[in-house]
Amino acid sequence: MTARNERKPEPRIPLSRERVLRAAVDVADQGGIESLTMRRLAEELGAEAMSLYYHVANKEEVLDGIADVIATEINDVVDQIDAPSKGPDWKKAVRQRILSAREVLLRHPWAPGVFDTRTNLSPAVVQYIDALVGLMRDGGFSNDLAHHALHALGSRALGFTHELFDPSDGAGDEGGAAMLEMADRLPHLVGMMMEVAHDDPDSTLGWCDDQFEFEFGLDLILDGLDRIRETA
Amino acid sequence: MTARNERKPEPRIPLSRERVLRAAVDVADQGGIESLTMRRLAEELGAEAMSLYYHVANKEEVLDGIADVIATEINDVVDQIDAPSKGPDWKKAVRQRILSAREVLLRHPWAPGVFDTRTNLSPAVVQYIDALVGLMRDGGFSNDLAHHALHALGSRALGFTHELFDPSDGAGDEGGAAMLEMADRLPHLVGMMMEVAHDDPDSTLGWCDDQFEFEFGLDLILDGLDRIRETA
DNA sequence: CGCCATATCGTACAAGGTAAGTCTGGGCGC
DNA sequence: GCGCCCAGACTTACCTTGTACGATATGGCG
């Protein structure tokens, strides 16, 4: 009865930076980014918090790491695409890439938030951007225009935009009801909302079709770039 | 020598939600948003941390509050403007508004970050957006188009965009040097950077003129909207 | 002068990041 | 074969930050 088999021979897989980062993504996918603590992450791996520090310098590095994991996932998906990009085809190619990136991000809703707390950008993101520039060059963009285009696209290039108002918060109508009370102070907004909501079949005030709006804004920019490109 | 004048009669101004929020903005302006802790904030006010909780429910409310303070500052500036917005003038009017908002945000570099951690949006932001919709309506936008326009503008409407790479980080060249090493893996990006940097007089690789890029993207979108508006 | 609402403070705890030291098992020189 | 070493994991403990809870100060009023 002395300690012989003190621990079941649980075939403890050794930790590694890879394993840590993958587990971190899992934790964030399951419980949101705020649930990603070093202790929770260790638990996920069947280890102790401090053990993680042998593989990553600190939590910042974990965040850098998972951003890179996601960007890599995006690259994997996006590199499957083989669309023509020469001349006027550039736009379709870029559009398809960006929308594919967006699909990946929709699977990791916490990722956009992490991306823009990152001060140093991930290698995989650089790789992604590089390919995007490549498509634009194929389309006849000057380097200068491609550069401006990146800035114009901003976070949209990676498939997300920062929502100023996040529809997924208050108990549905509440905010809208409060808004109706001050309708006299917000004539334009209230008028707009009423009309837009009316046109839309369901729409309890979760009225915005994210996908549609995203594409609208994206196309606006792409069309503008295309017009510049033609006249250059 | 017993405690008589235990404290100089320091005419302690009473706390108030107003004072707390203003102090919070000051702290953030001075030390960045990460320096804004309840204790630091109390110190700024010559009080103790727990005293703040009589005037604000919790730190989230402080953050909501300072977002609103900044948005109010924007509204104050922007409401000074009296530009014609009827018909084709809409674009100049909107442009001017947004660039003015941007000027305010440049004085509070932490503000964009706070804005998009806010899940409930500040009344002052709603007010701002409402006025923007008003200008677009003046320009002949349908409510529907105005709605899409808001989405297309995204955070740009308030005068900021999320930089994917923040130039203000690594020791200047470092990142660029590392990038040159893998030039073969990033042909397009490196090519673009070399050329763009070459055109630009100084440019140590802090090559991007934020203001120019911001206006470029903004105009791209505004021009696109204008074209849609004309054909509607 | 005593009372109570209002405003402030002191103490204390929980959560989370992480510094520093400790234990352990397997490889390697002798 | 034997002991040393060290990578890798664990233990303890500390510090910061938000905030619950209750005590305390203050000032106006009956």
Residue B148, domain CATH: 1.10.357
Q: Do the chains contact at A121 and B221, CB–CB below 8 Å?
A: no
CA gap A98, A163 in Å, rounded:
17
Task: Check if residue A18 sits with its Cβ under 7 angstroms from strand D.
Answer: no
Q: Do the chains contact at B189 and A125, CB–CB below 8 Å?
A: no
Q: Do the chains contact at B154 and A161, CB–CB below 8 Å?
A: yes
Q: Do the chains contact at B127 and A186, CB–CB below 8 Å?
A: yes
Smallest CA–CA separation between A165 and chain B, in Å?
Answer: 6
The Å distance, CA of A50 to C1' of C18, is 8
Dihedral (CA of A182, B104, B147, B91) sign: positive
Smallest CA–CA separation between B49 and chain A, in Å?
Answer: 24
- The per-residue pLDDT for range B114-171, each reduced to its tens digit, is 998 998 888 999 999 999 999 999 999 999 999 999 999 999 999 988 766 655 544 4
Residue A113 parent element (H or E): helix A111-115
- The per-residue pLDDT for range B39-83, each reduced to its tens digit, is 999 999 999 999 999 999 999 999 999 999 999 999 999 999 999
Q: Do the chains contact at B148 and A213, CB–CB below 8 Å?
A: yes
Note the strand C nucleotides within 7 A of protein beta carbons.
Answer: 7-11, 15-21
Chain A residues near residue B129 by CB distance under 8 angstroms? 164, 189
How many residue contacts between A and B have a Cβ separation below 8 Å?
160
Which of B192, B213, B221 has its CB closest to that of A151? Answer: B213
Residue A127 parent element (H or E): helix A123-138
Longest dimension (CA), chain A: 86
In this structure, the protein residues whose CB atom falls closer than 7 angstroms to any atom of nucleic acid strand C are A 36-40, 49-50, 53, 58-60; B 14-15, 42, 47-51, 53-55
Smallest CA–CA separation between A64 and chain B, in Å?
Answer: 13
Q: Do the chains contact at A220 and B224, CB–CB below 8 Å?
A: yes
Long-range contacts (CB closer than 8 Å, 24 or more residues apart) made by B182-189: B185/A127, B185/A130, B186/A126, B186/A127, B186/A130, B187/A130, B187/A134, B188/A130, B188/A131, B188/A133, B188/A134, B188/A137, B188/A146, B189/A126, B189/A129, B189/A130, B189/A133
pLDDT of residue A113: 93
Residue A149 domain flag: yes
Residue A202 domain flag: no
**Average pLDDT taken over every residue of chain B:** 85
CA gap B211, B178 in Å, rounded:
27
- A206 confidence band (pLDDT: 50, 70, 90): low
Task: Check if residue B143 sits with its Cβ under 7 angstroms from strand D.
Answer: no
- Over 80: is that where the pLDDT of B181 sits? no
Domains: count for chain B = 1
Q: How many CB atoms lie within 10 A of CB A153?
A: 24
- Over 50: is that where the pLDDT of A8 sits? no
Residue A65 domain flag: yes
- Over 50: is that where the pLDDT of B1 sits? no
The Å distance, CA of B49 to C1' of C2, is 31
pLDDT of residue A57: 93
Specify the range with the lowest mean pLDDT, choosing from A94-103, A211-220, B31-40.
Answer: A211-220
Residue A103 or A176, more confident? A103
Residues of chain B with pLDDT > 90, as a percent, come to 64
Residue A45 domain flag: no
Mutate to test the interface with A, among B189, B198, B203 (most CBs of A within 10 A): B189
Chain A residues near residue B162 by CB distance under 8 angstroms? 116, 154-155, 162
Smallest CA–CA separation between B14 and chain A, in Å?
Answer: 31
Specify the range with the lowest mean pLDDT, choosing from A186-190, A222-226, B16-20.
Answer: A186-190
Q: Which residue has the tokens 């951003």?
A: A67
pLDDT of residue A58: 95
Residue A48 domain flag: no
Residue of A nearest to B178 (CA): A123
pLDDT of residue A201: 60
The Å distance, CA of B4 to C1' of C11, is 26
Task: Check if residue B207 sits with its Cβ under 7 angstroms from strand D.
Answer: no
The whole domain housing B160 covers 57-165+208-230
CA gap B94, A218 in Å, rounded:
20
**Average pLDDT taken over every residue of chain A:** 85
Q: DSSP 3-state assignment of A191? A: helix
pLDDT of residue B209: 83
CA gap B105, B72 in Å, rounded:
12
Residue A84 domain flag: yes
pLDDT of residue B201: 60
Residue A125 domain flag: yes
Residue A180 domain flag: no
CA gap A195, B153 in Å, rounded:
20
